[in-house]
């Protein structure tokens, strides 16, 4: 609500010219007080009505009464707005009834809230539970975060096989973070996943095309160092330039170092 400013102070000379009487001054002051009271009352009524509407809609869902898609979308938009303002506890109160009614995006944000401990105690197991609900409905952000949980053993037992499964599902929907992570897994290898640079190149290329600066940088390194069994300085420079344009400063350093190699030839 906008703050009501006090009326400007009138200098003595101006008062004397107007010959304002004490009664006129008191009447003027009373008018301003009444005006301020009316403004505050109108604003309070509008806020109360908005809060009442919100509580009513939350109550409808909580009591098992279905809201149509338009009302659900409106509720979710309000939840997202307060979430982005940092009012996570209020966002959780709005999201929970929606998520309980299988609203996919609400399920994902409930996972985020518990995953990061936003307005609630951090609870990785609850986060995983909500991520699973949204992930099973092909929501790629939830699939990505669920894969991270399996890879790191957060809220579940570590399971790289399941992490790869969910990252691949998300990556096939164009999730650049999942594509990048798959590239890392295949480029380095581990006890559960065999190192495979061709597979790493495939996923990093997809992420690079999606604008991921780190994937573009790593793709350049593959070509520059011949780790794909094919050395291509021109391809390395091409991807490092893309990475630099996306904000990766080290890519420019890599290009300059590449130019100092004895076998370097300008493209």
**Of 263, 188, 178, nearest in space to 227 by CA:** 188
Q: What is the pLDDT of residue 231?
A: 73
Q: Taking the domains of the chain in order of start, what are their residue ranges?
A: 29-134
Tokens linked to 136 = 């099973």
Contact 140, 131 (CB under 8 A): no
- pLDDT digits (tens), the chain, 267 positions: 323 332 222 222 222 222 223 334 344 445 455 555 555 454 544 444 444 444 444 444 444 445 567 788 899 999 999 999 999 999 999 999 999 999 999 999 999 999 999 999 999 999 999 999 999 999 999 999 999 999 999 999 999 999 999 999 999 999 999 999 999 999 999 888 999 999 999 999 999 999 999 999 999 999 998 765 667 899 999 999 999 999 999 999 999 999 999 888 888
Cα 52 from Cα 79, distance rounded (Å): 15
Cα 238 from Cα 180, distance rounded (Å): 18
Alpha-carbon Rg for the chain, nearest whole angstrom, is 30
CATH class of 29-134: mainly alpha
Cα–Cα distances (Å) from 110 to 50, 133, 134, in that order, read 24, 11, 10
């Amino acid at each position: 609500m906008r703050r009501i400013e006090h009326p400007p102070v009138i200098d003595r000379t101006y008062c004397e010219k107007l010959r304002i009487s004490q009664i006129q001054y008191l009447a003027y002051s009373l008018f301003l007080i009444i005006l301020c009271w009316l403004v505050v009352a109108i604003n309070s009524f509008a806020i109360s009505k908005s809060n009442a509407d919100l509580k009513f809609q939350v109550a409808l869902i909580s009591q098992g009464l279905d809201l149509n898609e338009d009302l659900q979308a409106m509720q979710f938009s309000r939840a997202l707005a307060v979430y982005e303002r940092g009012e996570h506890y209020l966002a959780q109160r709005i999201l929970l009834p929606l998520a309980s009614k299988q609203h996919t995006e609400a399920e994902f944000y409930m996972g985020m809230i518990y995953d990061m401990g936003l307005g609630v105690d951090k609870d990785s197991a609850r986060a995983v539970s909500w991520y699973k609900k949204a992930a099973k409905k092909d929501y790629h952000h939830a699939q990505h975060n669920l894969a991270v949980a399996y890879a790191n053993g957060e809220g579940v037992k570590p399971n790289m096989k399941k992490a790869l499964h969910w990252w691949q599902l998300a990556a096939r929907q164009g999730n650049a973070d999942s594509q990048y992570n798959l590239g890392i897994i295949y480029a380095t290898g581990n006890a559960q996943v065999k190192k495979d640079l061709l597979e790493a190149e495939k996923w990093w290329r997809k992420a690079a095309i999606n604008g991921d600066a780190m994937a573009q940088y790593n793709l350049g390194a593959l070509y520059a160092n011949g780790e794909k069994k094919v050395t291509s300085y021109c391809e390395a420079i091409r991807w490092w330039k893309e990475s630099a344009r996306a904000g990766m400063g080290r890519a420019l350093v890599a290009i300059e170092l590449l130019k100092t190699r004895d076998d370097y030839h300008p493209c």
